[in-house]
A and B are shown apart, each in its own frame.
Chain A
Amino acid sequence: MGTTVSIDVRRPLVDRAAIDDAMAWFHDVDRRFSLFRPESEASRVAVGALRLDDASPDVRAMVTLAETVRERTGGYFDARRHRPDGRLDPTGIVKGWSVDEAISLLRLAGASNVQVVAGGDVFAAGEASHGSPWRVGIRHPEARDRVAVVLSVSNLAVATSGLYERGGHIRDPHTGRVADGLTSFTVVGPTLTLADAYATAAFAMGERGLDWIAGQPGFGGLAITRDARVVWTPLVDELLVPAQLAG
């Protein structure tokens, strides 16, 4: 199962080597964390072939982070329950983390205006052009070729969980039922690691996920309901591009 990653660097440009380094980072993460690779470290931990204590610092950090987020989301993000077999699966948090790290690499290399998109989750650093923040569309829940909302963001992560991604894959970990009431939940915040995990959790919570995300400092949420309403928290107010509020 592939995830597409794109890196978009705007002026000031950086050496090609910096892009290559970021790309190599993603491949390295893939090699170590993919559960589709039986030999990956994460796979070996998941099946018990490698003790967590003997795993690399990154793998241990991701497991710890996933557990912390599970507690912070009241169990709505659960790295174990997302797997049918209940085995440990920290990879739900790895994608966002790998993007955050890539952004750091690119910034260190001098890319102050750069957007990284990984499988529909975005971190937009700096601006798209001078004076113009990045414009990130939120996919329309019913029409895959349209956007429902456009957000104007700078130095923010944007992550969306929704039914359209893989068809009802987010279940309420407390009831085991597929979350209903919403078709998508978008979270904006300072890191994609947390925004991504929080989007998963808030979507499972349903509309009350908005209240929950509003209580997380620095984070905001925007939900699209099954009856086609768009609801958002105050932090998102200033990010909305009003003219794009069209179905």
Chain B
Amino acid sequence: MPKRGALAMGLTTLALVLLLNFQTPGAASTLEPVARSGSSSTTGSSSTTGSSTTSDATPAPAAGATVDGPTVGTRYGPVQVEVTIESGQITDVTALQLPTGGRSGQISREVESMLSSQALTAQSANIDGVSGATYTSDAYARSLQAALDDAGFTG
């Protein structure tokens, strides 16, 4: 679990992320293939993407630090992201591990772009969490969400 030191303005945050398998309201449709507009979606109720995963990040120093998101297994391969924090601000989000090659490679680039925009937008809005940003059917985005939760900027 990420265990973070001081954020900006003296806040101290303990944040942790885990992935669970229980369903959400109306989620019965996830029992069957679901069409989504996102190109990075992954489906399948029994794939490795649905396994319970616990992040194992180490405590991060207060400033000029990086927070590693958990490695999430997907059908395309492992995904892990890293958030860079300087003086309590997110300055970068990069992918430590992304599948490469073919369609996977294309998906990876799209997701990497999304990671950065999500982080920076959430930060500029000065919010503590996001309601409605479930991403539960998207393993890549789950990795994103976990990494951003690590950084304390989104839900």
**In the complex, which residues of chain B have a beta carbon less than 8 angstroms from the beta carbon of A2?**
19-21, 49-53, 136, 139, 142
What CA separation (Å) do A157 and B14 show in the bound complex? 20
Total contacts A to B, CB within 8 angstroms?
255
Q: How many residues of A contact B (CB 8 A)?
A: 76
Which residue of A10, A121, A136, A158 is within 8 Å of B13 (Cβ)?
A10
1/0 contact trace for B26-57 toward A, CB 8 Å? 11111110111110000001100111111000
Chain B min CB distance to A10 (Å): 6
Q: What B residues does A23 contact at CB under 8 A?
A: 1, 16, 18, 54
Q: Is B122 at the interface (CB under 8 A from chain A)? A: yes
Question: Could you say which of B60-68, B80-88, B97-105, B127-135 contacts chain A?
Answer: B127-135
- Distance, CA A84 to CA B16, complexed state (A): 34
- Residue of A whose beta carbon sits closest to that of B154: A137
How far is B24's CA from A199's CA once the two chains are assembled, in angstroms?
12
Name the one of A6, A161, A196 contacting B17, with C-beta atoms under 8 angstroms: A6
Interface residue? A226 (CB, 8 A): no
Is the Cβ of B129 less than 8 Å from the Cβ of A4? no
The answer to whether B16 touches A19, judged by C-beta atoms less than 8 angstroms apart, is yes
Main secondary structure of the interface of A (DSSP, over half): mixed
* Inter-chain contacts of A244 with B (CB < 8 A): 125
Residues of A within 8 A of B58 (CB): none
- Asked if B78 is an interface residue, CB under 8 A from chain A, the answer is no
Number of residues of chain B lying within 8 A (CB) of chain A: 65
With contacts A6-B149, A29-B22 taken as known, whether A122 is within 8 angstroms of B155 at the C-beta atoms is: yes
A186/B132 in contact, CB under 8 A: yes
Question: CB distance B137 to A26 under 8 Å?
Answer: no
Partner of A166, one of B51, B128, B137: B137
Q: Which of B12, B51, B121 contacts A10 (CB 8 A)?
A: B12
Residue among B22, B34, B117, B128 making CB contact with A8, cutoff 8 Å = B128
Known: A8-B152, A124-B129. A147 touches B121 (CB 8 A): yes
In order of increasing CB-CB distance, the 6 nearest A-B pairs are A117-B155, A160-B132, A139-B132, A120-B134, A2-B19, A6-B149
Further contacts, 13 of them, CB under 8 A, given A3-B20, A6-B149, A129-B9: A2-B21, A3-B134, A4-B19, A8-B149, A13-B12, A19-B14, A23-B16, A36-B22, A139-B131, A147-B127, A162-B132, A169-B29, A200-B26
